[in-house]
Amino acid sequence: MSLRTIDRSQLPARPAAAVRVLHTSDWHLGVAVRNEPRDRDHDAVLSELVEVAAAAGPDLVVHTGDLFNGGRPGMADFGRAIRVLRELADVAPVVVMAGNHDSAVALETLGVAVSDPVPELVAAGTYDPDATCPARIRVLHRPTSAPGGAVATFPTRAGGRLRLVALPFVHANRVAGEWEDVLTSHSTYTDGIRKICDLLTSAAFADFDAASDVAVFASHLHVSGARTSTEKEIHVSSEYATDPAHLSPDYGYLAFGHIHIAQAVAASRGRYAGSILEVDFGEEGEAKQVVVADLTPGRPTAIHDVALRAGRRIHRVTAPYSRLSEHATAIGDGLVEVTIGPEEGGGEGAITLEIPGFDSLAAAVHDALPDATIVGVLDGRRPETAVADDLHIPETTETPAELFRGWLAESGSPLLARYSTGHADPERIARMFEEIHTAVTTDSEVELDGLARLLTLVEGAD
């Protein structure tokens, strides 16, 4: 269903008995469009997000994953995450969980960086080395059990307790720790996820007082019925879709990340907050938002979708050059891919490739759209003469492991069958690739069961 977003100035005052939660997701710090960095856009929209949080005054801020766009975030993006999370923590406690684009090593390091309050306390002259200093920011870098931190309780202004169940992204073939046995003992990924949710829910409601407490379930996963845009099908196909109907009705709000289209799900019990920026051309024109949920014990939850308008927007424009400047106002300073088409009413013989006054098509486009950031210029005046530089390369948010898995399914399996005499299991190869890639990109060690056997098979193929 489509959402009606409001500006932060329209956000209603929180009811006296309500517990307020601010839900954001999918920041994808470090993402670029056609090699154009989004740093300035992230700075703008994150500043707006902090302003929304300050105006809303929540009891808790929840980030449902994909904080970063890749496993090795740059130092500037790492610093940006620390700064913004601390600004949000000045408003309310913050919980961040890993998404499929996040590296467990990077988020674990981030957790150390943001959970140490000592420098701030020393600067304020209030540091007591014997006092317990609970972290205002909690980072869940991988799925864990209830005792491990997946279930947490927060005090609220209304006087009751807020119980949060947080489940970071669970990889279908790279699970370690407490949940490995649960997933491997179930025939399907979704059955395993359901069992994990059931176990966490049982722990969350063990001492729950429905008269004064409220509960939130938060996770980075695909739920059935959600509309998708750019996410990789291997993680958003029906095979990986979790039915939210099995989540306890005692949860007052369901907070999801992973799908970039902001939308209501689970019979409007919850939301995909969506990405805070159009991360690629697949999201062109999508409205971006942050969610504010007011939970009151014994009453329906009021959910407010608050618009995020900062940051440059993405545009694709196709027009003859003579009319391109007509789009300048609508595009403004946005990021734009331009396709120059034939002039209207001109036949094949009337096509003129040279534009007087300019030595290239790109220069002419920049002149027609002076405020825009041009990320691509395609010459569509003679499609049959298109060269490699003119070809559109689709945007992708696929991870290398997902790309390899796709290649393996389409082309690699026949090669394995041919050159390994049928002894190499494609699923096993895919898991090994993912483990190796994770180790390389996160500077961590990896031990691969069966690697010697695989190398023997490969050497035998030579």
pLDDT tens digits, one per residue of 315-329? 999 999 999 999 999
pLDDT at 449: 56
Residue 387's pLDDT is what?
A: 44
Work out the pLDDT band at 82, boundaries 50, 70, 90.
very high
pLDDT value at 67 more than 70? yes
Residue 361: closest CA among 381, 343, 347, 345: 381
CA distances from 393 to 34, 36, 280 (A): 9, 15, 12
- From residue 276, how far is each of 55, 120, 281, 283, 354 by CA, in Å? 18, 29, 14, 11, 40
Other beta carbons less than 10 A from residue 454's beta carbon:
18
77 phi and psi, to 5 degrees?
-70, -35
Token couple for 190: 């979704």
Question: Shortest CA distance to 238 belongs to which of 256, 255, 254, 226?
Answer: 226
Amino acid at 419: Y
Q: Report the distance separating Cα 404 and Cα 417, nearest Å.
A: 17
- Which residue has tokens 């095979």? 239
CA distance 438 to 100: 12
pLDDT at 347: 58
pLDDT tens profile 285-320? 899 999 999 999 999 999 999 999 999 999 999 999
| pLDDT (0 to 100) of residue 420 | 57
242-277 exposure pattern, b = at least 16 Cβ within 10 A, e = fewer = bebeebeeebbbbbbbbbbbbbbbbeebbbbbbbbb
pTM greater than 0.85 (yes/no):
no
- DSSP assignment letter at 242: B
Looking at residue 386, its pLDDT comes to 46
Helix (H) or strand (E) holding 96: strand 94-97
* Choice among 17-31, 86-100, 221-235 with the minimum mean pLDDT: 221-235
**C-alpha–C-alpha distance, residues 194 and 17, integer Å:** 32
The amino acid at 9: S
Start-to-end CA span in the chain (Å) = 55
How confident is the model over 83-90, as a mean pLDDT?
A: 94
Place of tokens 């993912």: 434
How is residue 152 written in tokens? Answer: 């947490």
Residue 77 above 90 pLDDT? yes
Structural domains in the chain plus CATH codes: 8-308 (3.60.21.10), 314-390 (no CATH), 400-461 (no CATH)
**Helical axes 75-89 vs 39-56, angle rounded to 10°:** 10
Whole-number percent of the chain with pLDDT over 90: 48
Helices (H), 116-265: 118-124, 180-184, 189-204, 233-236
CA-CA distances (angstroms) from residue 57 to 11, 16, 53, 96, 139? 11, 12, 6, 18, 21
Given the DSSP bridges, would you call strands 263-265 and 270-272 parallel, antiparallel or unpaired?
Answer: antiparallel
- Least Cα distance to 61 among 74, 46, 73 occurs for 46
Question: What are the residue ranges of helices labelled H in 320-369?
Answer: 321-324, 328-331, 361-368
pLDDT given at position 232? 44
Tokens 């105006």 map to which residue?
55
pLDDT band of 229, cuts 50, 70, 90: low
